[in-house]
Structure 1
Amino acid sequence: MSTDPSTSSGADTPVPTCYRHPGRETYVRCTRCDRYICPECMRDASVGHQCVECVADGNKSVRRPTTTLGARVPTSDTPVVTYSLIGLCVVAYVAELASVKFFSDFLMVGKAVDQFGVPIAGVGVAEGEWWRLFTSMFLHQRPSGGSFGITHILFNMWALWALGPALERALGRWRFLALYLLSGLGGNVLLYLVDPTGSAVGASGAIFGLFGAFFIIARKFGGQVGPIVFLLVINLVITFSVPGISWEGHIGGLVTGALLALAFVYAPANRRQAVHVGASLGMLVLLVALVVVKTSQVTSGAA
């Protein structure tokens, strides 16, 4: 800190004032730019004080720490994306409880047919309702809508709460969000390819993508994989043994999540960001292309 002791040099000597607040007298200068600063504009530095602008300029040159996978270490420990996804699923569940139409308008169905197998015009992905590929991953079975009812959303939200924070910290927010959404999309795309007249709801495809990614990341960095393998095996057994469960959604999400995790984990350090973005965009393009091809087949009667 530097000061000007000449406080009694005469009436002709101007009294120094803060460069940001001209009406405030001060004799303290910024140790970096040497401008006068008042107490409100002072920021503690290793030596003396600095003004707010010099502190901001200094922070720009400081690199934020990153995780092993290249994600910036968040300034807060709160898993914002995980909690936001849980919140969206809960809000959607309340909406579908209040309106059956909300549920039917946003569930996943490729080409809707009636009980006699006659196509229903205007309903399904093949009829231009492409948003069903995304919106369905936020819906869950209604209490009277199947073998599981409310336990469907309870288990999926528990799994997201259990796995999400760790993956979000390791991958960073945008990678984690891409992993979740693309895994859910991958599950719905596989259902569309295998059974275009089938329907499904749930975050299970995205959750299975998290299972696959957690296994890949833990295996790469020497973490314990036993618990996630056990959980995955149990869920696969349930998937193929309980009627009414979309195995396509689960397997599609698992494969998509595992492939993305492989790209995230094994990307060269000097090109990590480009590979991560490229892998995410490449997966999206691939899934969209598969939907376009299948839609062409369905609409032409070749499905």
Structure 2
Amino acid sequence: MSTDPTPSSGADTPVPTCYRHPGRETYVRCTRCDRYICPECMRDAAVGHQCVECVAEGNKGVRQARTRLGARSAADATPVVTYSLIGLCVLAYVAELVSTRVVDEFAMFGGQDRFGQLIPGLGVAGGEWYRMITAMFLHQPLSAGGFALTHILFNMWALWALGPALERELGRLRFFTLYMVAGFGGSVLTYLVDPGQVGVGASGAIFGLFAAFFVIGRRMGGDVRPIVFLLVLNLVITFSASSAISWEAHIGGMVTGAVMAVAYAYAPAARRTIVNVAAPAIVLAALIVLVAVKTSQLTSGAA
């Protein structure tokens, strides 16, 4: 810190002022540029204080710490994407409680009735592709009985438990992409196997997070036994429980999430950006092609 002694009184003696706030008197100068700075503009430095501009200029040359998978490292960063996804699911559930039409209009529905007949203009085959995305944020309404409330509670607990760690390691954009593409993969397999099924839930995306947690854990040399146990337990429940559980969504999300995680975790550092962009684009394109082919089969069959 550089300071000037208080000048002797005199009419011709100028009073130094902050270079950013000319109306504020000060006798403290930036140790880097030597300009006068007021308390608001002071930033602690190794020696004395620096001004805001000098601190910003110095930070440009500092490399930001990153995780092993290339995300910007910030141990105390709030998992904004995780909390936002939870919030969207909860808001959608509240909307379901207010109006049953929410499920009717936004649930996953291929476009076939229970007899296998195509319903013109309705469902994914009728052009309502958005259902494959919106269904990811809906859950069984209370009117469905059974495990309706458990459905959303388990999915939100899993998202809260797995999301923050994955979001910190992958970064917000890659984590969001993983979640959405995995959920879409679950909807696609449901559409391919049973286009007459009506389905809701974030389970496809959640199973994608399970798979990603395992893949990334293995890549980083962590203990993956807890996630393996949880994944196996949920697969057992999926195939042993009633038909109310869509195994197609679970398996589709898990496989898609695993593929995405392998690309993220094992991408060479020198080509990480290219792989991070290409992998989800290729997976998404493949899923869209499958949907288009299935739609063509359904509509041509109906004709």
TM-score with structure 1 setting the length: 0.93
User: How much is the aligned-residue C-alpha RMSD, in angstroms?
Assistant: 2.0
Matching residue's letter, 2:244: G
Aligned to 1:8: 8
CA distance in 2, matches of 1:283, 1:13: 72
Task: Tell me what 1:171 maps to.
Answer: 170
Counterpart of 1:261 in structure 2 is 261
**Within 2, Cα distance between the matches of 1:36 and 1:239?**
68
Task: In structure 2, give the amino acid aligned to 1:211.
Answer: F
Q: Which letter maps to 2:97? A: L
Question: How is 1:264-279 mapped onto 2 (pairs within 5 angstroms)?
Answer: 264-279=264-279
Structure 1 Cα separation of the partners of residues 3 and 146 of structure 2: 77
- State the 4+ residue runs in structure 1 displaced beyond 4 angstroms: 115-118
**1:249 equivalent in structure 2:** 249
Which has the higher mean CA deviation after the structures are superposed, 272-281 or 184-193? 272-281
Provide Cα deviations, 1:142-164, integer angstroms capped at 9, x if missing partner.
12326422111111111111211
Cross-structure match for 1:28 = 28
Determine the C-alpha separation between the residues in 2 that align with 1:151 and 1:64.
42
Partner of 1:57: 57
Q: Conserved in 2, the CA contact under 8 Å of 1:136 and 1:200?
A: yes
Query: What are the superposed Cα offsets for residues 67-98 of structure 1, whole Å, 9 maximum, x if unpaired?
Result: 11111113634322111111111111111111
Secondary structure at the aligned position of 1:64 is classed as: coil
2:23, 2:83 → 1: CA distance? 47
User: Any idea what the Cα deviations from partners look like across 1:229-272, whole Å, max 9, x if unmatched?
Assistant: 11111211221222222111111000000011100111001121
Identify if the C-alpha distance between structure 1 residues 75 and 50 changes in structure 2 by more than 3 Å, giving closer, same or farther. farther
Letter in 2 for 1:156: N
Aligned residue for 1:217?
Answer: 216
Residues 88-119 of structure 1, C-alpha deviations (whole Å, 9 max, x = no match): 11111111111110111000012143x55543
Separation in 2, partners of 1:271, 1:119 = 45
Query: Which stretches in structure 2 are left out of the alignment for 5+ residues?
Result: none
Q: Deviations over 1:32-61 (max 9, x none)?
A: 112111222111111111111111222232
- C-alpha distance in 2 between matches for 1:285 and 1:215: 25
2:75–2:168 CA contact under 8 A, matched in 1: no
Q: State the one-letter code of the partner of 2:128.
A: E
Which residue of structure 2 lines up, in the alignment, with residue 46 of structure 1? 46
- What residue ranges of structure 1 are gaps of 5+ in the alignment? none
Change (3 A) 1:281 1:246: same
Measure the CA separation in 1 of the matches of 2:224 and 2:42.
51
Alignment deviations for residues 201-252 of structure 1 (CA, whole Å, 9 cap, x no partner)? 1011001101111111112222222221111112112212222221111110
Q: Cα distance 1:302–1:212, how it changes in 2: closer, same or farther (>3 A)?
A: farther
Task: Provide the rounded CA distance (Å) in 2 between the counterparts of 1:75 and 1:226.
Answer: 24
Distance in 1 of aligned mates of 2:218 and 2:115: 49
How many residues align? The count is: 302
* In structure 2, distance between residues paired with 1:152 and 1:201: 10
Structure 1 contact 123–129 (Cα < 8 Å) conserved: yes
How many angstroms apart in 1 are the aligned matches of 2:302 and 2:177?
32
